[in-house]
Every structure is written in C-alpha cells, then in structure tokens.
Amino acid sequence: MIGLPTLRKPFVVLLTIPAGTALTIGALPFLIIYLEDLFGVGDVALQAFPFDTQSARTVLSVIATGAMSALSLAYSLVLVVFTLAAGNIGPRLLKRFTTDWVNQITAGILGGTFLYAVISLIFVSAEFMPRITISVGVLLAAVSVVQLIYFVRHVARTISIDDEIAEISSRLTEALQSLVSAASRERKGRKKQDRDLERSSADVAAPRSGYIGVTDMKAVIDLATAHDLVVEFALPHGAFILKEQTLATVTGPLEEGDEEALLKLITIEPSRSEVAPVQFSIKLLVEVALRALSPGVNDSYTAVACVDSLTSAFATVADEGINMAVHRDREGNARVVLPGLGLKELVGSAFHPIRRAAGANILMAQSLAYSLARLHHAGGEEMRSIVENHLSLLFAQIRAADVFEDDIKSVVEMLPGELARVVEAGEEDATGEDDAAEDKDGDKSGQTPTA
C-alpha cells in the first residue's frame, strides 16, 4: 500500500466515483440532443420511438422518480449493512465497505439516471421531440434495474461473516507473499554491501501524533540518493507515533531543508488505515474472533474460522522470517530501511489474544492446538520453537480453568504424536517444579520457631 495516491483515501473515493459517474451520465442529454438536432435523426426515429409530448414527459418523470427511489433504497441497505457489520463483525470494516466498488457504481448509475431524466425533461416541447434522448433514458432505466438487482445480491454476500473472513484472509496472504517475495529479491539482488552506517546521523522527529501512513517511497529514495543519505524508519508503517518521537534516523550529510523535504513525503494520519496490510488484516481477524468469543455473541465457530484463516496465511512464511525491508537505488546501495516483521511477533499478535479470550472454551482450544500443529509441521526451527511455546501456554491456561481431564485429552489428541509428547513432557516438568515448591513451602511452614 506504500505510495498509493491520495485519491485512494476512502472519503475521496466516496466522493469522486458516485459523483463523477452521476455527473457524466447527467451530461449525456446535452451531447445526444446536440447530435440529434445536428443530424436530424429525430424524424428518422419517429416510427421506432413513437413518443408524443405528454408520453415523453410521463416516461421521463417515471424514470426520475424510480431512480431516486432506488437510490434511497440502495443507501438504506448500505446503512443496514454498516450497522450489522459494526455490531457483528467489527467497526473497522466500515472503511472497506465505504470504498466498495459495487456500492459506488450503483450510487453513480442511479444518481446519473435521475439527473439524465430531469435534464431531458427540459428539452421536451411540442416544437422539438428528442426521441433518441428519451430512448436512451429508457435504456438507462433498464440498466439501473439490473444494477439494483446485482447490488442487492452483493449486499447479501457482504453481511456474510464467512465471506468477509475469507476476503480478509486472502488479502493477508497476498500481503505476506508480497513481503516474502520482496525479501527474497533483496537477498538475491544485493549488489553492494550496505553503506557505512558509522557516518554522522540525525534523528527526524514526528511533527504530530498519529499513525504512520502513506509514504512516497520512490521520492524518498530519490531524495536519499541525491544527498547520499540512508533513511532508517524507527517504526513500521501503520504504527502509532507520538509527536516529537523519533520517526526516522538519517545517516549521511543532512543539509538544511532535507528534514522538511523528507517529512513532506510521509503522511501521519489521525486514524488507522490499510497502509500496513499485514498488521491491519491480522488485527481485523483477531477483532472478529474476539468479538465472536465475547459472552454477548458467543459464536465459537466464527472464531474457529478466523484461526483457520490466520493459520493458512502464516503457513506462507512458516519457514522464513521477514526481518526488514531494504529499498535500494539503481546502483544497489541501501537508501531506505523499514522495520520488518518477525515470526514471533506475527504469530504472537494473532494467537495470544485469541487464546486469552478463549478461556475454558474446549472447542477453541482444539482449534488452536490443531492450527499450531499444522504450523509446527510446515515451519522451520524458529516456527517450531514458537509453536511449542504457544502450546505450553494453551495447556497451562486450560488446566488453570479447571476443566475435565477428558477434555484436556481431547485437545492433546489434536496434536501429532511427537508434538504431544513434547507438550506432555513440558507439563510434567512444570508440575514437578510446582510440587517441589509446595513441598518446600510445606517444610518451612512445618518448622517450629525456636526461642
């Protein structure tokens, strides 16, 4: 998402796409009437489109009324979807709904059909009958009906939580694969060693508090190349930063005005956005899972779907980490360094909150155990170590919840034999240490004080 133009910001898209579509369709009567009058096709089309003044006005009035009614219905349905999504899925998904292309195009077509019919009414008179223009209005009405039917179907799919989870998971997988590909190209395409970082360096402070947003990366690289600088960001994109906190460290001969030029290329937004698609998508899935596990919703299967989606995405990077992203100039010198994502941070940010929220939910414990076992099988040494730690925490939490022993065994059965033995051995060690500590405390408590 780095380097996207500001046109992609939701409020701009919400304004430009429907308005642009509606105004374009609304301007068509001027062009069609001009051509119709210029070439005199109105008389030729008399038999094909037999409209008189009264019927033409009636048809255009019906089209305008119907288009406006359909537009009101469409926006009402969108508001219903927003309400359901905010309550059942998560409020942070609203931004994605507002930028949905189907919603925007539907609003544009219906609004444009209304404007087209109203403007066409102005030119209908006894002296001039724009039959082609009226016929195009009828065609637009038909298109509006088809689009409205498709819109209703799309809205029905939008409020399906399973479809939303699948969509978020797909975007998360694509983002992770993109980062892995970039890291692979960086390792294979490195032409020179990184520049000497022992040169003089200076910290660039954030001008205000907020979330690190869109960065014009090409412009930053060009700026760093022109002044022989290396810009190392202190926080990844999408992270929250405080005013005067270090935003980046610039190594090299920093001249007057370079700091201001750099800050102009970095946006700090007041709200979180999808500028960091990996972290943002993980947080969305975790939020949906936590909401599903809350007592008010109590929908364990939705949380299980979120865990399965996270597992599928993490399998993409199960055997390699994403330490950092290095952007280089044409000569191969490092110019911009972005903090990367480690496997421990990725897996922990997803599974720790879900595990804590699951509590004594055995269904969720089974799902987590099965998902972690799959990552253990697909990953390398680092991932296996992370999985074993998560499993230890999972079983410690289950035992602390005082559930039945048979339920604990059902969770152990979700693990392959070798991994189950590792977990059981860890539990035995922990139990032995606890027993030893209790015996030691008991010995101390049993001692009689001496005078």
What are the boundaries of each domain within the chain?
6-159, 278-316+339-434
Is a pLDDT exceeding 80 seen at residue 44? Answer: no
Average pLDDT in the 377-405 region? 87
Of 22-31, 211-220, 261-270, 357-366, which gets the smallest average pLDDT?
211-220
Nearest by Cα to 396 from 350, 354, 430: 430
**Predicted local confidence at residue 193, as pLDDT:** 42
Return the residue matching tokens 């038999």: 47
Q: What is the pLDDT of residue 436?
A: 46
- pLDDT tens, 342-389? 778 888 989 999 999 988 889 999 999 999 999 888 878 888 888 889
Tokens 């009264």 sit on residue: 54
Q: Where are the alpha helices (DSSP H) in 40-130?
A: 41-44, 53-84, 94-98, 101-123
Tokens of 69: 């009614």
Distance CA 105, CA 147 (A): 9
Q: What is the mean pLDDT of residues 125-137?
A: 82
SS3 assignment, position 215 = strand
Cβ contacts of 344 within 8 Å, gap of 6 or more: 382, 386
Chain CA centroid to CA 343, Å: 20
Alpha-carbon gap, residue 421 to 413, rounded angstroms: 11
Q: Which residue has the higher pLDDT, 196 or 107?
A: 107
Whether 267 contacts 215, CB under 8 Å: yes
Q: Name which of 137, 134, 142, 76 is nearest 107 in CA terms.
A: 76
For the chain, percent of residues with pLDDT exceeding 90? 15
Unique residue bearing structure tokens 């010995």: 443
Confidence (pLDDT) at 95: 62
What is the pLDDT averaged over residues 211-224?
81
pLDDT of residue 445: 44
Average pLDDT score over residue span 250-254: 82
pLDDT at 5: 40
* pLDDT category of residue 306 using cuts at 50, 70 and 90: very high
pLDDT higher at 265 or 274: 265
pLDDT at 109 over 90: yes
- Does the pLDDT at position 115 exceed 90? yes
Q: What pLDDT, on a 0 to 100 scale, did the predictor assign at position 344? A: 83
Query: Would the pLDDT of 64 be above 90?
Result: yes
Whether residue 364 contacts residue 358, with contact meaning beta carbons closer than 8 Å, is answered with: yes
Residues contacting 17, CB < 8 A, separation 6+: 101, 104, 105, 108
Average pLDDT over residues 39-61: 69
